[in-house]
Amino acid sequence: MVLKTEQYVLNIGPLHPSTHGVFRLRATLDGEVIVELEPVFGYLHRGLEKLGESYTYKQSICLTDRLDYLASMSNNFGYVLAVEKLAGIAVPERADVLRVVFAELQRIVSHLVALGAFVNDCGAFQTPILYMFREREKILDLFEMCSGQRLTYNYMRFGGLSQDVPEEFMPALRKFIAEMDAHIDEYDRLVSMNEIFLARTRGVGILTAEKAINISASGPVLRGSGVKWDLRKADPYSVYSRYEFDIPTGTVGDCYDRYQVRLQEMRQSVRIVRQAIEKLPEGPVTTKVSLNLKPPAGEAYAHVEAPKGELGFYLVSDGTDRPYRWHVRAPSLMNLTALRDLCIGWKIADAIVIFGSIDITMGEVDR
């Protein structure tokens, strides 16, 4: 007797714990195996690009906080660089170095969330993520000292920072940096060689290097596939060329490689911060910039290596105090292009792992 079977469609999300935000997957299944997958998004679309056209340049800094809300400092950084390029504003050295410190701390925060949530998705329910959030808290405390905020910092300004770091910041940062390497070893021991974790991630969701480049992937997704491309080295902005650090890359391009790249990048970020605070120059952190900044008519594109990949801002100025066009090159959106092809042929439980390994924030996908 032949058993009659048929494919069926399963909606995952938009409100589901493992979709990391309001993200929906429309999966067509044959039993447990995915035969077609359509990512559906837009649930968090706030029209930030349109809104940015009616805000002055300075007002838009707070909009960038709401892109990748787990990495607001990096978003601030990319945006102020673009406006500085457009308007030709110079940045004092101390502010430059502090920006790098904040961007690297932010990378650690973002990777801690990414890895914690990813390991959670793989079945290590809640234990590793709490270890990772323990260190995340310490960095959020540091950010709070400077900006008064724990998530949306709105801390960088054209020509520097909104204010210098307070007195208690440096001792706390030094203490954190002294301890962080040992904590990364701790995560490594806890997760990296766990048999269940290896079974769930090794060889799963393989993204080849050619494919990764072709889909415009960037950040740990691209580097996990073995492409040594990091804007901090390839196109050094700010003062990154001063510091020594390595670019960790994967070999196979599976979920495990993407995990390892993020883990190793945290070590490199600690290394950069350590070098930066060793030689932190004295001096001002702000420049006098008109509140009603009117950059000359023209356009500028600036990009930074944000935790999730290449974050770019394309600005068009018509000479008024508001941008004519304000476009964000969002790494989360581009990295998602890979999802469909990576998931087809895998089981539904693997799709959750593959999705987790890409690491997206809906605020940035939808804008």
Partner 1 sequence: MTLALSGEDLAAKLGPKFPESVIKTAKDSVLVKTGDLLAVASFLKSEPGFEFDFLCSITGVDYKEYFELVYQLTSIKNNQSLVVKAQCRDRENPVMPSLTGLWQGADFQEREIFDLLGIKFEGHPSLTRIFLWDGFKGFPLRKDFTDGT
Q: Which of residues 61-120 bind partner 1 (CB under 8 A)?
A: none
- Coil, helix or strand at residue 319: coil
When asked if residue 337 is in the footprint of partner 1 (CB under 8 A), the reply is yes
Q: Which stretch binds partner 1 (CB under 8 A): 128-136, 180-188, 192-200, 333-341?
A: 333-341
Residue 325 in the binding site for partner 1 (CB under 8 A): yes
| Contacting residue, 103, 161, 177, 333, with partner 1 by CB under 8 A | 333
Show contacts with partner 1 in window 225-254 (CB under 8 A).
Answer: 227, 229, 234-236
**Position 133 contacts partner 1 (CB under 8 A):** no
Q: Hey, how many other C-beta atoms are within 10 angstroms of the C-beta on 124?
A: 18
What helix, strand, coil percent values describe the chain, rounded to 5? 50, 15, 40
Determine which residue in the list 306, 334, 352, 360 makes contact with partner 1, applying CB under 8 A.
334
Cα Dmax for the chain: 83
**Which residue in 327, 344, 347, 348 binds partner 1 (CB under 8 A)?**
327
Instruction: Pick between residue 59 and residue 214 the one whose CB is nearest to partner 1.
Output: 214
In the bound state with partner 1, the residue whose beta carbon lies nearer, of 100 and 177, is 100
Strands laid side by side in the 24-30 sheet: 8-12, 24-30, 33-40
Question: What are 366's two structure tokens?
Answer: 């939808």
Q: Nearest 5°: phi and psi at 329? A: -90, 100
* Helices and strands, counts by H and E, the chain: 15, 8
Give 290-295 contacts, CB < 8 A, sequence gap 24+. 291/58, 292/56, 292/321, 293/56, 293/57, 293/58, 293/83, 293/87, 293/158, 293/321, 294/319, 294/320, 294/321, 295/57, 295/83, 295/86, 295/87, 295/319
Least distance (Å) between residue 9 CB and partner 1: 16
Give the pairing of strands 160-161 and 298-306: unpaired
Which two tokens mark 216? Answer: 């415009």
Q: Work out how close the CB of 203 gets to partner 1 at its nearest, in angstroms, rounded to a whole number.
A: 23
DSSP state, residue 188: I
Does position 301 bind partner 1 by CB under 8 A? yes
Alpha-carbon distance of 195 to 118, in angstroms, equals 16
Nearer to partner 1, 273 or 338 (CB): 338
In whole angstroms, how close is the CB of 26 to partner 1 at the nearest point? 12
d(C-alpha 228, C-alpha 206), whole Å:
17
Q: One symbol per residue from 25 to 64: x for binding partner 1 (CB under 8 A), - otherwise; what is it?
A: ----------------xx--x-x-xx--------------
Question: Which neighbouring-strand residues pair with 39?
Answer: 25
- Residue 210 CB, nearest approach to partner 1 (Å): 8
Strand partners, 26: 11, 38
CB atoms within 10 A of CB 152: 16
Does 364 help bind partner 1 (rule: CB under 8 A)?
no
Site size for partner 1 (CB under 8 A) = 34
297 binds partner 1 (CB under 8 A): no
- Which CB, 149 or 337, lies closer to partner 1? 337
Q: Which of 68, 121, 310, 350 binds partner 1 (CB under 8 A)?
A: 310
Half-sphere exposure of 31 (CA within 13 A, CB side): 7
Min CB(89)–partner 1 separation in Å: 19
Q: Return the range that interacts with partner 1 (CB under 8 A); candidates 13-21, 157-165, 283-291, 325-333.
A: 325-333
Site string for partner 1, 187-216 (x = CB under 8 A): ------------------------x-xxxx
Q: Which residues bind partner 1 (CB under 8 A)?
A: 41-42, 45, 47, 49-50, 211, 213-217, 227, 229, 234-236, 299, 301, 303, 310, 312, 314, 316, 324-325, 327, 329, 333-334, 336-337, 366-367
